[in-house]
Structure 1
Amino acid sequence: MPRNGHAVVLGAWIAGLLAARVLTDSHDRVTVIERDRIPAADDPRRGVPQGGHTHGLMPRGAHAVDQLLPGVLDELTRAGAVPVEPLVDIRAVIGGRRLLRTPIGAAAVQATRPFLERHIRERVRTLSGVELLAGCDVVGLLADGTGTRITGVRVLRRDAGSAVESVPAELVVDATGRASRTPVWLEALGFDRPVEDRPRIDLGYASRHLRLAPGADVEASVMVGAVPGNARGMAFNAVEGGLRLLTLAGIGRANHPPADDEGFLEFAAAVAPPDVAAAIRAAEPTSGITHYRFPAYQRRHYRRLRRFPDGLLVAGDAVCSFNPIYAQGMTVAAVEALELRRCLADGRAGLARRYFAAVDRIVHRAWQMSLGSDLALPEVAGKRTLGIRLMNAYMARLLVLAERDPVVARQFGRVIGLLDAPTALTRPAILRRVLSARGEPAPGRNAIGPATAGDVSQVSP
């Protein structure tokens, strides 16, 4: 791969750290610029307000991270992260159906977001040529005289008396999340802003760490999805330190979990299976209750721009952020990093065009799964195309079969884990099993979970 001089990554979150790892293969120096101060302990950071809630690497994401940082999954496990095989170690109740326990041939990784981030950050910082500048605001881009090539960034350190500094770079990757300023910077340079899709879901969720009582017997993860008429769900995951992280969620203000201790427990009891609810009530809280509100999806269509400056790319949530309950964000960021590596290996010519085309394919798959599933809930506003309605009706039948058919359950689990495309659920072998199955889904049991293949490209925000 041809070598370049200096690359700058904006944001030391998962997407930025993995992008920095990739850039070490093609650049002599990589500087990661982060707005927050890096905490000494595994504490959530201000710039990651959802950091105290349930996170995990889906099977596809875990594999991608281990490709980029060989051996890191073993390191995470030795340090306390919990590897789980979906549908074996996880009790999954989707659309009111408990999926059959059956192996899917890959493992996910459960841990808190700060824990995962710290271990990945420490691995990346040991790489040759990598520098992390924390406590710095990026206040703008540098461009050449034509305004068509980005040549670096302008930064302001958060120290008293600091002045704006210029940081030259051959390539800048923006991984600053939903609040990315790239659209504003593009407009200032005379480029169009990307079109944005923002379908609203008004998701509220709350989380707390717990320690199970001695003798409690609960799977490493219990996931319960919402159903029409009851737009509430939960995730109860084993994480590092022998703790459990309980996240409760609901769509629509009336379904947001409460802040007080007793209300939190009552919400959990109304969503969790009875044995799990009993274990939660008997557990010892080891943290307060943290809250987060996710008003809308956000997708920026950089691929559609006819003009885009050379020397600039965008990654992670700065491109697209999904319903966080489906735990797709870190996995999508990891797969994007692999695509960045592939694109850089093919040279700099047309890099932005090739990269955004690859990212769009990755994002669209996850977007279809999560938003299409949310649109099975009447509580979520949005246009239901004929394709969405037909697919959700099909998924309702598939979920009935996934309670007892290992072939169907395994394929469903692989799609949820982002190992296979949603279209795998309509391959002839699966289609025949679903359409020939006896019995009908219970009234109102639509597919609620990240596994619909309907076309949601025309959803109204």
Structure 2
Amino acid sequence: MRHAVVLGAGIGGLCAAGALSAVCERVTLVERDALPAGPAARRGVPQGRHAHVLVTAGIEAVDRLFPGIYASMVAAGAPVVRDFSAFRLAPGGGAPLRLCGPPPEPFAGLVSRPCLEAHIRARVRKLSNVVIRDGVAATGLTAEGGRVTGVRLSQPLAADLVVDATGRGSRAPNWLVELGYPAPREERVPIDLMYVTRQFRQPHLPALVVGVSARPGRARGMVLFAQEEGRCVLTVSGYGAHHPPREPERLLDALASLAPPDVVSALRAAEPLGDPVVAHFPANVRHRYDRLRRFPPGFLVLGDAICSTNPAYALGMSVAARQAEMLRAVVAAGDQDLARRYFRAAAKPAGAAWAAATGGDLALPEVPGRRPLSVRLAGAYSRRLLGAAERDPVVAHQFLRVAALQDPSSRLVRPSMIARTLRPAWRGDRP
């Protein structure tokens, strides 16, 4: 393929540009924002100042697209979890998981979103066949004979392939309709989530990663990550009537009902870096491009433009990176039936993230929505699974591998895992 255009220079777009540079003669990356030279928050990524993390499968995907980038982030000061003693996670909202020993490396990307984006952007800038055009907005697609032939900027830009990685606000469904194609069916699970974030000069933290999920009756959760340059980031989230307070002191008071006491004490003694910032996430949204029977050749969609899930589950960037790897593979295999092959592949990580996020959200009675029998049964099993993970390291490690997109969710319903999950707590555990 001669020329590909990628729209959007977020994590998904940068990974897509890197992936396509290996299989296309030229790649043009188009971004509406003026891109900063180094790590900096930008207008087009308003959620960028909140807590972000690449789960294991995401880091592995980024490192395959840009070899050595994980090591470069660590060398630049990214914290590394080398032992599970530096990791406290209570995904059921109760006791932390029982974990022991060193986790696989890379385990999690503990860098801020601006820092991660800057590292990947620097690698993309070094690719000889990639051109970045920032400060330019795409207004639509050009097409001829039913095939997409480029994108409309200030002047039309011709391309053999256009990839939309513009995120949750993607206009791809409207563009398809303008070209005479059907828009994808939209799945939506409203959750009315609000999250409040504040950064601190890193105190003496008892753990590099702390996470407590919302649970029925207490529809709030929190995460605390150590970050580069001696900082840490706290994000407290809540659903509906359980939105967290925005005021600094009240935010820490709310944290006291969620986090371990030593974590709360460390943050009360820490130096805050700026005021709290607030974001709202109204709904999980998935566009079923994989179910369209008609789709224009020369056009694909990636990342949050396909599936945007509750950020508390920290899966969006990792899904986009994995889809970029899949994009590289399907384009390398040829143009024949490209859209069907790509969307079928991209649906797998998107579907895993969708199931995890919507299943977790609908397990909370505070989240409105229809709960068919399959969802209720899955929720009941998940509650038992998380309870078992609090006392059984085998269940905890398998749960983490699924949560990090390393293993399919089917691993959690193997006979051996069901037996450990349903085993009465009084019988004890055998690591």
Q: TM-score, normalised by structure 2?
A: 0.95
| 1:82 maps onto 2:69 in alignment | no
Counterpart-to-counterpart distance in 2, 1:428 and 1:105: 25
Q: Which whole-Å deviations, capped at 9, do the CAs of 1:45-76 have from their partners, x for residues lacking one? A: 11111000000110000111111110000011
Q: Larger % of helix: which?
A: 2
Deviation at 1:401, TM superposition (A): 2.1
Structure 1 counterpart of 2:179, one-letter code: L
Structure 2 counterpart of 1:211, one-letter code: R
**8 Å CA contact retained: 1:87, 1:99:** no
Q: Which whole-Å deviations, capped at 9, do the CAs of 1:263-304 have from their partners, x for residues lacking one? A: 222122222111111111111101221110000011111111
> How does 1:297-336 map onto structure 2 within 5 Å?
297-336=284-323
User: What secondary structure sits across from 1:199 in the alignment?
Assistant: strand
Q: TM-score, normalised by structure 1?
A: 0.89
Q: For 2:95, which of 91, 94, 97 is the aligned residue?
A: 97
Structure 1 counterpart of 2:424, one-letter code: A
| 1:133 maps onto 2:133 in alignment | yes
User: What secondary structure sits across from 2:250 in the alignment?
Assistant: helix
1:86–1:18 distance in 2 versus 1, CA, 3 Å? farther
What count of residue pairs does the alignment treat as equivalent? 424
Match in the other structure for 1:222: 210
Counterpart-to-counterpart distance in 2, 1:382 and 1:9: 36
Match in the other structure for 1:150: 148
Q: Which whole-Å deviations, capped at 9, do the CAs of 1:170-197 have from their partners, x for residues lacking one? A: 0000000111111111111111111111
**8 Å CA contact retained: 1:97, 1:399:** no
Q: Which whole-Å deviations, capped at 9, do the CAs of 1:189-231 have from their partners, x for residues lacking one? A: 1111111112100000011111244xx3420010010110110
1:209–1:405 distance in 2 versus 1, CA, 3 Å? same
Match in the other structure for 1:356: 343
Percent identity of equivalent pairs = 49
User: What secondary structure sits across from 1:347 in the alignment?
Assistant: coil
Counterpart-to-counterpart distance in 1, 2:426 and 2:357: 27
Deviation at 1:391, TM superposition (A): 2.1
**8 Å CA contact retained: 1:104, 1:413:** no
Match in the other structure for 2:243: 256
Match in the other structure for 1:338: 325
| 1:186 maps onto 2:185 in alignment | no
1:122–1:259 distance in 2 versus 1, CA, 3 Å? same
Q: Which whole-Å deviations, capped at 9, do the CAs of 1:388-423 have from their partners, x for residues lacking one? A: 222222222222221222211111111111111111
Match in the other structure for 1:267: 254
Match in the other structure for 1:232: 220
User: What secondary structure sits across from 1:365 in the alignment?
Assistant: helix
Counterpart-to-counterpart distance in 2, 1:237 and 1:324: 14
Counterpart-to-counterpart distance in 2, 1:149 and 1:81: 44
Match in the other structure for 1:172: 162
Structure 2 counterpart of 1:425, one-letter code: L
Counterpart-to-counterpart distance in 2, 1:261 and 1:366: 32
* Structure 1 residues without counterparts, runs of 5 or longer: 156-163, 441-461
**8 Å CA contact retained: 1:202, 1:294:** yes
**8 Å CA contact retained: 1:21, 1:68:** yes
Q: Which whole-Å deviations, capped at 9, do the CAs of 1:74-130 have from their partners, x for residues lacking one? A: 011111222226854320012213100235534111111010001001101101211
**8 Å CA contact retained: 2:195, 2:237:** yes
Match in the other structure for 1:203: 193
Deviation at 1:41, TM superposition (A): 4.2
Counterpart-to-counterpart distance in 1, 2:356 and 2:171: 27
Match in the other structure for 1:115: 115
Counterpart-to-counterpart distance in 2, 1:294 and 1:304: 26
Counterpart-to-counterpart distance in 2, 1:12 and 1:130: 12
| 1:245 maps onto 2:245 in alignment | no
Counterpart-to-counterpart distance in 1, 2:38 and 2:120: 14
